[in-house]
Amino acid sequence: MQHKGKVLVFLCTALIIVYGVSAAFWDNTYPALSVFMDALRNVDAYYVEPPDLNKVQQGAMRGLIEALDPYSTFLTKEQMEALASRKDKTADVGAVISKRSNIICVVSTERNGPAEAAGMRPGDYLTAIDGVNIEDKSVLEVESLFRGDPGSKVRASVFRGAATKPTEIEMVRRNDEPPAIGSRMLDNRIGLLEVPSLASVSIEQARVKLKTLVSAGAQKLILDLRGCADGKPEYGANLANLFLKNGVIYSIRGHGGEKLEEIKADPEKFVTDLPMVVMINGSTAGPAEIAAGALKGNRRAIVVGEKSFGMGSSQKRIPLKSGAVLVLSTAKFYTPDDKMIENDETLRETGIAPDVESPDRDRLNDLLVDAYFTGQADAVKYKQLQERLSQEQLDKALEVLSKGLAAAGRAA
């Protein structure tokens, strides 16, 4: 009991200090602290064993920080050392991950990458890697676990849909090989530019492909950003700049909504103002959302497809005296029409919403039912469903262009 008393005194003292500092900023702090103090009194009175103060403190810190958003976390000295030991591992599985409902989920898989080839899908929830439970791990830690030596294997346990047991997926790591940007001319002089990844500085490749389409006689354009989820914010801005002669591409806001920076289009990087449609889906994230949001917000393009994932923040690592590190989201990205790309408070508001939804909810349900009752193996059903979704979205983009709806988005 003496040890428990010391724990309680220590925590109470810490809470008093926190309260003294924070009360000046939040008027509702005391009620929350009152509940916490009540819980502590019950721990002191009834908990069966003396608590491990270090474990309690670290758990409380991690819970506090990770409640903020998917990318903020508290890492102990030991966890940081584990991350550092893997930083030189060059091979990966080609999957972009995040958190939803505090569970690690797959946002996107690289086209023809190890994860996709092994059967991992966007929307999968990860529960273990190589048999180790990851439910209490951060996005940073899980990303590091996926890295390893080229040719080495890693096994992931995932839940999907209404499954009652996990699916085991074994992947062979390989060095990063981002898929190339694709382009082709469709009927009626419509040029299609496919950007499956922004992981590398591939904007020059996009510029060349785009200029080739224009030189070949393209009169309208489709920019396909479906499944594009990796890369740096500036890569998304550079992509949007190919279609914007002027105007804001995105802005960066920090603590309290203060505008830190405004990224504007550079006229010298501009290529074309042909009428265009942008295609997105639930696996469009990060820099691709910056590009789609810029073209939509400037009324430069009509956006067709599904709402994007919602990944638009930057993090800062803050070392602590103990050797632990706080990873905090210190800025968020906004579209030109003042839309926050990543809204961690309301998932309904996160991501880029399409101007023209395709497929709509009823049609999507029909497709899911059709796929379910085909009597074919799960992997075959999934592939066929994705092919049908992809074609219907492309057909809808072509329909929008044929009706001249995208003409209103032409640059001034």
How far CA 406 is from CA of 197, 265, 300, 360, in Å, comes to 24, 20, 8, 20
How is the chain split among helix, strand and coil, in percent rounded to 5?
40, 25, 35
Long-range contacts of 350-354 (CB under 8 A, 24+ apart): 350/309, 350/310, 351/289, 351/307, 351/308, 351/309, 351/310, 352/280, 352/284, 352/289, 352/292, 352/293, 352/296, 352/303, 352/307, 352/308, 353/303, 353/307, 354/280, 354/303, 354/304, 354/305, 354/306, 354/307
pTM: 0.88
Per-residue confidence of the chain (412 residues) as pLDDT tens digits? Answer: 444 444 444 454 444 444 444 443 444 555 666 776 777 677 777 888 877 767 767 777 788 788 889 999 999 999 999 999 888 888 999 999 999 988 999 999 999 999 999 999 999 999 999 999 998 899 999 999 999 999 999 999 999 977 788 999 999 999 988 889 999 999 999 999 999 999 876 789 999 999 999 999 999 999 999 999 999 999 999 999 999 999 999 999 998 889 999 999 999 999 999 999 999 999 999 999 999 999 999 999 999 999 999 999 999 999 999 899 999 999 999 999 999 999 988 888 899 999 999 998 888 877 777 666 666 678 888 898 899 999 999 999 999 999 876 654 443 3
100 Cβ contact partners less than 8 Å away, ≥ 6 residues apart:
70, 347
Paired tokens of 5: 């008393």
| Domains of the chain as residue ranges with CATH | 2-51 (no CATH), 88-175 (2.30.42.10), 182-314+328-409 (3.90.226.10)
Q: Which residues pair with 95 in a beta bridge?
A: 109
How far CA 361 is from CA of 294, 304, 328, in Å, comes to 26, 14, 36
Residue 38: CA count within 13 A, CB half-sphere:
6
Paired tokens of 368: 């899911």
Q: What pLDDT does residue 201 have?
A: 63
For 233-259, give one letter per residue: b (16+ CB within 10 A) or e.
bbbbbbbbbbbbbebbbbbbbeeeeee
